[in-house]
A = this chain, B = another copy of it.
């Protein structure tokens, strides 16, 4: 891990410092159609004058080989070399695909991530994962490549609709639960009526990203301990896939919020996670995220999806469990009966 992370709302100065310290022959900025319009003009970085802007279409469905190939073509046609610098300005789609394009062009150009969504700031833009969706599967192809630098700011969060803030906040909740009780309960006191583009919230984001980076540092290639970051995600991925099958896709962040409720019940049931904290979580999620509706008729499909999750090794259901906030146990095999019980309790807690 050679990456550096800076938390600042003085983004242009941070970029200028990095560029001044380097010896780059040219700068490329990768943005999507939204951030090219709303964020890039606000950057005001003097070092980026004359940078070449590569704009990709916004949206998860464009995190594709086709888009990647178009970025490579623009690099190639411009004669980009490993002495150039790439700056990714956007949410997780931009940092994932822009990171992969940079990591693989001429076997690796240096790149900076400037995440503009909360989800990217606390998750996607950190930890060195790059990638695209392929063959209908998320992040099927990619690399582990550290950005030269990640600049995290809350300055651009005001450009986001409220549900995007909530989506990122679900990953912050997860990080808090992996960290300690105090952080977890502090986050539960939020009512989403505050402003988010503040220095105060930047501090909360800093805490959250530091938690993620602790796991990344001890296990950069995701061989074991880093799996803890998958807390809530076995159920979340199954919910997302079921929603896709219903042709009503749900946001990943919302799915994580609901997945946390189900897996925190499992943590309670199997490892004695305190019931009072489970209820506090469920109350917060229901109040702010509503519920993802499922019936008994969906159980079989959901169980099937969980046994085919990427993290599952031999067709078993694999979860992270917590004995309490801050004490994760990763790679736990869950029986189908337990998973069914978790779906039952999820419905109870979500008033379904």
Residues of A near any B CB (own CB < 8 A): 25, 65, 69, 72-73, 76-77, 81, 83, 103-108, 129-131, 134-135, 137, 139-144, 221-222, 310, 313-314
Grouping DSSP codes into helix (H, G, I), strand (E, B) and loop, the A interface class, with mixed when no group exceeds half, is mixed
- State how many angstroms separate the Cβ of A4 from the closest Cβ of chain B: 18
- State how many angstroms separate the Cβ of A92 from the closest Cβ of chain B: 15
A77: which of B25, B73, B106, B135 is its contact (CB, 8 Å)?
Answer: B135
**Contacting pair A140 B106 (CB below 8 A):** yes
- Residue among A143, A310, A314 having the largest count of chain B Cβ atoms under 10 Å: A143
**Contacting pair A76 B107 (CB below 8 A):** no
Known A-B contacts A76-B135, A77-B135; the reply to A105 vs B140 at CB < 8 A is yes
Chain B residues whose C-beta falls within 8 Å of the C-beta of A222 in the assembled complex? 107
Chain B residue nearest to A142 (CB atoms) is B107
A104: which of B25, B81, B104 is its contact (CB, 8 Å)?
Answer: B104
**Contacting pair A143 B310 (CB below 8 A):** no
Q: List 22 A-B contacts (CB under 8 A).
A: A25-B313, A65-B65, A65-B69, A72-B140, A73-B135, A76-B135, A76-B140, A77-B135, A81-B313, A83-B313, A104-B143, A105-B141, A106-B140, A106-B141, A106-B310, A107-B129, A107-B130, A107-B131, A107-B141, A107-B143, A107-B144, A108-B143
Chain B residues whose C-beta falls within 8 Å of the C-beta of A25 in the assembled complex? 313-314
**Contacting pair A103 B143 (CB below 8 A):** yes
**Contacting pair B65 A104 (CB below 8 A):** no
- State how many angstroms separate the Cβ of A316 from the closest Cβ of chain B: 13
Chain B residue nearest to A79 (CB atoms) is B308
Chain B residue nearest to A137 (CB atoms) is B76
**Contacting pair A104 B72 (CB below 8 A):** no
Chain B residue nearest to A129 (CB atoms) is B107
